[in-house]
Structures are given as C-alpha cells and as structure tokens.
Amino acid sequence: MLLEGKICLITGAASERGLGRATAGLFAEHGAKVAILDLDEGAAAAAAAAIGPCHRGYGCNVTDKTACEEAVERALADFGRIDVLVNNAGITQPIKTLDITAGDYEAVTDVSLRGTLYMSQATIPAMKAGGGGSIICMSSVSAQRGGGVFGGPHYSAAKAGVLGLARAMARELGPFGIRVNSIAPGLIQTDITAGKLSDEMKQDILKGIPLNRLGDARDVAGIGLFLASGLSAYVTGATIDVNGGMLIH
C-alpha cells in the first residue's frame, strides 16, 4: 500500500479505458481515496463508484477556472485535504499545421495547458496548508519528438507547454514541499485515438518501438503511482518517459 490515506484528485478520469481511470484504480488499490473530475458529473460519479465506495466523482471542465475551484472545494468538503493532483484531462486532433483553425488551437491547448494551470492553482493552497503534495502532469512523447504519432502540431505545443509549466511550478513550489513532475506517454491504447488509428498505422508505429508493443493504460498508471508516492520523495521537475523505447534520448 503506497498511498494509504492519501487524497488524490485526477482529472479526465471518467473515460473507461483511459489513463486517468487506470490511474484512479491503481491509486485506490494502494489505499488512496480518489476524486475523479470529468466533464460529465454522472460519468465521473459512475467511474468513482466503479473503483469502490469511498471515492467521489465531480463534474468539472478544467478550462473553466471557477469550475476547478468548485471541484476542489467539494473535494475538501468530502475528504478534508488534498495530497495528490493528476492533471490528466486532454484532447487531441490529428491535423496538420495549415489546417489548424483558431477553434482547434483553443480546444486542444485549453484542455491540456490552461486546464493544468487552473487545476494546479485551485489545488496548491490546500497542498500548502497540508504541508506538501505531489502534482503530476500528463504530457506526451509528442512534445519531445515533435509529434508524428497521432496529434497535430498544436497538440505537441500544448504538451510541450505542460512540460515547461510543470518544471517552473516544481522550482517555485519545492520550498512548500510540493513536488511537480510530468509523464510523457508514447502511444497507449485508449479511446483518445478511438476509430482513428488503422491497423496499418499501428504496424508502422510498432516498427519504431523496441519493446514491440503499444502501451497499456496500466503502464502509465504505474508511473503515476511512483510519482504520487513517497518512493519519489526526492524527485521534482522530472519528466518520466513511458514509451517502450520509442524515444530514447
């Protein structure tokens, strides 16, 4: 049990086959109480109930600062403190530079980047009051290698922005005992690419993965557990790759 008694908020964790949901399940297995935040309150509550009776689900659009603050207030009312925040919510679009509209840009950067900022801002005061915490930000190999997996350049830019934001927050918040780290997954089989990734595309991608398989949501959840727990007590400002060797640098 690596997270006994810890209170963990995870955004974008309602999606059944998603990285957030797998992380929520693994955290719960390790004794955490989890609050799942997602766009639809009913879906968030159902996802929380699916991992056990002592978890909660709240409707929250992470691009809306007031909604983030309200969700954190609800978590504090239900659980009394917050130890871990996983900024996992994100969307992607497989489009090329010249096709990115203003709306596409806003949609993609807002969820990953603005959402990570707003949720962190909403949560940091409670972590400071509690004497510390761990913030985990979901980036992507796309930020490091310049896309070329699935998302467009605006997705790479949003996820690269997440890395910079996380590192700067790590520097600023270290003195308060708050660690901030990022995870950079490669291609993990979830619904984010649902229906848009052909078998041919998968075979092409596999050629560049030394471990010779696409990732599983549990592969990412395990790194989330490490970063949330005391095992990583002296790790902050780091980016952990979970990509099967797709990018070795």
Site residues (CB under 6 A) for ligand NAD?
11-12, 14-15, 18-20, 38-39, 60-63, 88-92, 111-112, 115, 138, 140, 185, 187-188, 190-192
- Residue 72: Cβ within 10 Å count: 24
Indicate the residue among 12 and 244 with the shorter CB distance to ligand NAD.
12
Q: Supply the minimum distance, in Å, between the C-beta of residue 176 and ligand NAD.
A: 25
Tokens matching residue 197: 């990734």
Indicate the residue among 57 and 185 with the shorter CB distance to ligand NAD.
185
Q: How far is CA 45 from CA 11, 118, 144, in A?
A: 13, 22, 34
* Cα angle for residues 150, 245, 221 (degrees, 5° grid): 75
Using CB positions, name the residue nearest to ligand NAD.
90
- Is residue 155 flagged as an active site residue? yes
> 176: Cβ–Cβ under 8 A, 6 or more apart, which residues?
127, 128, 132
Q: Supply the minimum distance, in Å, between the C-beta of residue 246 and ligand NAD.
A: 10
Residue 208 exposed, middle or buried by CB count within 10 Å (0-12, 13-18, 19+): middle
Single out the catalytic residue among 58, 105, 118, 155. Answer: 155
Indicate the residue among 165 and 192 with the shorter CB distance to ligand NAD.
192
Indicate the residue among 213 and 233 with the shorter CB distance to ligand NAD.
213
Residues annotated as catalytic are 155
